[in-house]
Structure 1
Amino acid sequence: MSFTPDNFTIWMEIPVSDLDKAIRFYNDVFKTDLGRVKDMGPNEFAMFPTKEQGGVAGHLYPGTPSQKGTGPTIHLACPDSLEATMERFAKAGGEVISDPIAIPAGRFAYGIDPDGNSVGMFAS
């Protein structure tokens, strides 16, 4: 029997070299409000919000990112159009490294955040 859960991804963590700078970047790009959490582990981190408590999300944490573009890619939902998100991504200091790519579920583009993390911007 094969393991097939409702959601295979349950959490994601993005390592960043400067938590304040990364919070500003992700807030600006994804039009969100990452909340700082100080009492849930050995380090302070910033959590991505979800509409409902218990939604699949993740956080930014002080850590050592992989070398530029060599780590896993985290795909994040665009708050509006893919093109507008790509524009904010570049303006905020990231590097957009692909044109939009169409797939049956929507469209996405690849980018590298200021810490070198690979980020997919996804719009359905």
Structure 2
Amino acid sequence: MTFTPANFNVWAEIPVRDLSAGMAFYAAATGGILDRKEMGGEATAFLRTAEPGQGVSANLFVGEPGPADRGPVVFLVVEGTLEDAAARAEAAGGKILSDTVTIPPGRFVYAADPDGNRIGLFEPRMAS
């Protein structure tokens, strides 16, 4: 039997030094909504899924970010165009780290959040 789930990514956790500031950045950069939750005695912020209660795409937690030049990169889908998302990310204190990369499923840029976490901002290709 071959294991082939619909999506291998269950969720991602992104460490931020200040949860409220992290929530503000990720809401601005993605255009999405974050919900603050207490989980296991810790404050976290979930990037809301289309259907509440149907899973978690990613969450923020208070922690020390790792080095920005290595380690996993979390790619987040953005509202609107990639250019708009990149501008929102910079206005919210982030930094764009690359030129736009086009791949068959869409386009992305590498960015850093205000804590230095390296992320990908992804605009899916629209079906023709």
Q: TM-score, normalised by structure 2?
A: 0.89
**Equivalent residue for 2:45?**
46
Deviation at 1:8, TM superposition (A): 0.4
Q: CA RMSD in A?
A: 1.3
Whichever residue aligns with residue 98 of structure 2, its letter is: S
Whether the aligned pair in 2 keeps the contact of 1:71 and 1:117 (CA below 8 Å) is no
Structure 1: how far apart are the matches of 2:64 and 2:37?
Answer: 19
Whichever residue aligns with residue 35 of structure 1, its letter is: D
CA distance, structure 1, for counterparts of residue 69 and residue 18 of structure 2? 18
1:16, 1:60 within 8 Å by CA — same for their partners in 2?
A: yes
Alignment map for 1:101-120 (pairs within 5 Å): 101-120=101-120
The residue type equivalent to 1:4 in the other structure is T
User: Alpha-carbon deviation of 1:58?
Assistant: 1.4
Distance 2:33 2:47 in 1: 7
Contact kept? 2:46, 2:56, Cα under 8 Å: no
Do the aligned residues in 1 keep the contact of 2:94 with 2:114 (CA within 8 Å)? yes
Distance in 1 (alpha carbons) for counterparts of 2:34 and 2:88: 17
Distance of 1:122 and 1:35 partners within structure 2 = 21
Contact 2:47 2:56 in 1 (8 A): no
Equivalenced residue count is 123
Query: How do 1:1-124 residues align onto structure 2 when only pairs under 5 Å count?
Result: 1-38=1-38, 40-52=39-51, 53-124=53-124
In structure 1, how many angstroms separate the alpha carbons of the residues matched to 2:56 and 2:77? 12
Gaps of 5+ in 2: none
How far apart in 2 are the matches of 1:66 and 1:99?
23
The code of the aligned residue for 1:16 comes to V
| One-letter amino acid matched to 2:65 | P
**Helix, strand or coil at the partner of 2:42:** coil
CA offsets, 1:86-120, max 9 Å, x none? 11111111110111110000111100111111110
Which stretch of structure 1 is more off in the superposition, 54-63 or 114-123?
Answer: 54-63
